[in-house]
Structure 1
Amino acid sequence: MTTAATTEVMTQDQATWFADTFNRIVGNVSHAVLGKENVVRLVVTTLLSGGHVLLEDYPGTGKTQLARALGQTLQATSSRIQFTPDLLPSDVTGVSIFDPKTQSFEFHEGPIFANVVLADEINRASPKTQSALLEVMEEGRVTVDGVTHRVGQPFVVLATQNPIEQAGTYRLPEAQLDRFLMKTSVGYPDHGATVQILHGSAQRDRAGALDPVITGQAVSDMVALADTVHVDASVLEYVSTIIAETRRAPGVVVGVSVRGALSLVRAAKTWAAAHGRNFVIPDDIQELAEPVLAHRFVLEAEAEFEGASAADAISTVLSDVAPPTARATGA
């Protein structure tokens, strides 16, 4: 398979290969997370867009199972960090320890140095510990004692948090939320999936039983290949208009940043390739707008009190901004 390094624009053959491989990853993860294919597709899209995902949902819906299943599906390193109030930044990033034999400090890597990192109950850690993730999630590196250490590739953080148990938790600041390419929820399985889960109750660890279907290097190749998907100028103008409208939407204090716009375009490229296309269409933007953009909003307190939500604001913006119906002139 020819990777992105040898081509400027994804070919249709590459798009077909990408979609087939994408579906294999989704299918494997779905063996552990039953009845949630769309959520799995969003998580895999985040992985192949070089981003990170925040899973917010009620206890027992399979958030941790989904993260572990993705780690098992990749032939790569994975780690789990249980976030607690007493967790220190060095417990995440690593620490320099003095070696009396060499009379020098030696860096010992923390659990963040893995390809797939499960940050479980991330909002239970203090803001100081949460901030330890800012650099590595944005730049793929960790700086300890003035020395920079790069994490491997691919690198994805799958964080979970519980929206109802708020005692002893620390709300993620906007700067931290903005680092997540997507925020989504797993939700309860439907009746058929629930019955299937109950039938397999003897199998306590579905994720642990999965076999890898793709190597870490192949994932990195797919990330690079997704970057070569074509985005017409008219679609970019459509995204820019959507982002601008989020800042003017009623009840919104802070709209979507440029980082959010870039995240939407990157995710749309991967989403298009996952559907066997080497070009983005407006439908890709509309389908991904809520999971990519909604968590980047800051609403007025009064609007929230009256029941307004970021999802409603996104829906309003999408209905007000007409999608392009033709390619830009000269594109």
Structure 2
Amino acid sequence: MPMTPENAAWFAQTFGKLTDNIGQALLGKTDVIRLALVCMLAEGHLLLEDAPGTGKTALARAIAATVHGSHSRIQFTPDLLPSDITGITMYDQRTSTWDFHKGPIFASIVLADEINRASPKTQSALLEVMEESRVTVDGVRHDVGRPFMVIATQNPIEQAGTYKLPEAQLDRFLVKATVGYPDRAAARMILAGSANPDRTQRLQAVVAAEAVAQMIDLVKENHVDDAVLDYVQQLTEATRDDAETSLGVSTRGSIALVRAARVLAAAQGRNYVTPDDVKALASPVWAHRLVLAPEAEFAGSTPGQVMTRVIQTIPAPQQRGAS
């Protein structure tokens, strides 16, 4: 059933309430909050690369509190085991049965702090749950529920003793973003409330987790015109053909951009996607998926510059509404 203008209006109103509520805990960061919500409602996962103390944990807690969901934090270290994330099956002598003890991955919002400090084996434990929202332990599948989003963080300053995320795992993250430091006005408000710095404790839930699941299902029906799909494919091919890339955007990346664009359009009260939605999300959704050619990287080029050039090069189609 296609999304109606009335449904889109309700979606936009609810999206605004979610943004405003989270904004009470993460001051002056409306853009990254909206990006995180787009990611969650597109059933994706968020990668934050930022310095310590910029509000990454606060963002995860605020989202969980706003949607009346659970929150867990996993501190990734070199000695972390896959079972420390997914959980283990233990034998209960009293009942003579095997019981599954859930790990911290079973939460609505999971903060994977400094994910690149764990071994590749442990990092790979997230692949199945990020792709299929379920965990397989001892041959038994366990669903993690909805909504579900992994917010992983990386510290760009200290790289000693870290394990770079492989391209296959980076491709699982729908969006890569940076929280950044607050502006002066927001920083003054944060300092004024420094006696009780954790503003997430004062947040009240805006919607139930079940309502979020309904929003996720509803936005999947948002209309995407064939011209917009062709535009996404042309952008995809341009990243692959660019002289400075050795690996362009995958098909999974193209699908991710369309999913995210559907959410952004609905968040603005539209029941159809426009080329501007695609442009706004192309860099956050695709830049981390690009692999630069060695000579381009040595020359100082960045994936963001490649995305800017691609968007400027490929002409956007004329905007058309839902048919």
Give the number of aligned pairs: 323
Consecutive unaligned residues in structure 2, runs of 5 or more: none
Structure 2 residue 61 is the aligned partner of structure 1 residue 68? yes
Structure 2 residue 185 is the aligned partner of structure 1 residue 192? yes
| 1:221 counterpart residue number | 214
Structure 2 residue 89 is the aligned partner of structure 1 residue 102? no
| 2:315 counterpart residue number | 322
Shift of 1:326: 5.2
Structure 2 residue 256 is the aligned partner of structure 1 residue 300? no
Aligned match of 2:231 in 233, 238, 250? Answer: 238
User: Which is further off, 207-216 or 310-319?
Assistant: 207-216
Structure 2 residue 275 is the aligned partner of structure 1 residue 282? yes
Task: String of CA shifts for 1:108-127, please: whole Å, max 9, x gaps.
Answer: 11111111111111111111
Structure 2 residue 39 is the aligned partner of structure 1 residue 42? no
Structure 2 residue 71 is the aligned partner of structure 1 residue 78? yes
Aligned match of 2:13 in 13, 20, 36? Answer: 20
Task: String of CA shifts for 1:12-34, please: whole Å, max 9, x gaps.
Answer: 11111100100111101111111
Shift of 1:101: 2.6
Shift of 1:286: 0.2
| 2:194 counterpart residue number | 201
Structure 2 residue 117 is the aligned partner of structure 1 residue 124? yes
Separation in 2 of the partners of 1:30 and 1:84? Answer: 30
Secondary structure at 2:182 match in 1: coil
Shift of 1:151: 1.1
Separation in 2 of the partners of 1:275 and 1:135? Answer: 32
Task: String of CA shifts for 1:139-198, please: whole Å, max 9, x gaps.
Answer: 111111111111111111111111111112111111111111100001111111111111
RMSD: 1.4
User: Which is further off, 17-26 or 298-307?
Assistant: 298-307
Separation in 2 of the partners of 1:191 and 1:116? Answer: 29
Separation in 2 of the partners of 1:85 and 1:214? Answer: 37
Check conservation: 1:115, 1:155, Cα contact below 8 A. yes
Letter in 2 for 1:113: F
Structure 2 residue 168 is the aligned partner of structure 1 residue 175? yes
Letter in 1 for 2:139: G
Separation in 2 of the partners of 1:40 and 1:18? Answer: 16
Shift of 1:225: 0.8
Task: String of CA shifts for 1:47-103, please: whole Å, max 9, x gaps.
Answer: 111111011111221111111111111212221111111110000000011122333
Secondary structure at 2:136 match in 1: strand
Check conservation: 1:233, 1:327, Cα contact below 8 A. no
TM-score normalised per structure 2: 0.97
Consecutive unaligned residues in structure 1, runs of 5 or more: 1-7
Structure 1 residues 125-140: aligned runs within 5 Å:
125-140=118-133
TM-score normalised per structure 1: 0.95
Check conservation: 2:114, 2:153, Cα contact below 8 A. yes
Shift of 1:327: 4.7
| 1:5 counterpart residue number | none
User: Which is further off, 39-48 or 69-78?
Assistant: 69-78
Check conservation: 2:51, 2:155, Cα contact below 8 A. yes
| 1:155 counterpart residue number | 148
User: Which is further off, 259-268 or 111-120?
Assistant: 111-120
Gap change, CA 1:237 and 1:65, over 3 Å in 2: same
